[in-house]
Amino acid sequence: MKYEKETEQGFLLLESLVTLGMIASISLMLYPMIARWMILRQEAKDEVELNRIFYETSIDWKSTQSMERKHKGYTIESKENKLSVEKGNQKIEVYLNGYEFEK
């Protein structure tokens, strides 16, 4: 009877080690994927914010006026027929080649 009990304990230890190994290997496989998802999420948030600032600036943009200002880390620049918004290595620019107003 004592022999069976020791065998059970050895089996439980082996089962625990196998389970721990499986959990560790799954965690090691998922960690790079989760880290990449977090980086992609942050890049998407930055891009949406850049587009939002550009949209808000373009609503009040007067193409004949020149200006350069900073807003929450963004550099907004307007020169003759050009509007650009920049933050870090991301930049959005629009050039007007010509425009016409109709009544």
> pLDDT tens across 40-84, in order?
999 999 999 999 988 888 888 876 778 888 878 888 888 888 888
Q: What pLDDT does residue 1 have?
A: 45
Does 5 score more than 70 pLDDT? no
Q: Name the region of 101 (left: φ>0; alpha: ψ -120 to 50; beta: rest).
A: beta
Query: Rounded to an integer, what distance in angstroms lies between the CA atom of residue 2 and that of residue 11?
Result: 14
Q: Which one is predicted more confidently, 37 or 1?
A: 37
Query: At 97, is the secondary structure helix, strand, or coil?
Result: coil
72: Cβ–Cβ under 8 A, 6 or more apart, which residues?
A: 53
Closest-CA residue to 73 (of 89, 61, 93): 89
Cross-strand pairs, 82: 79, 95
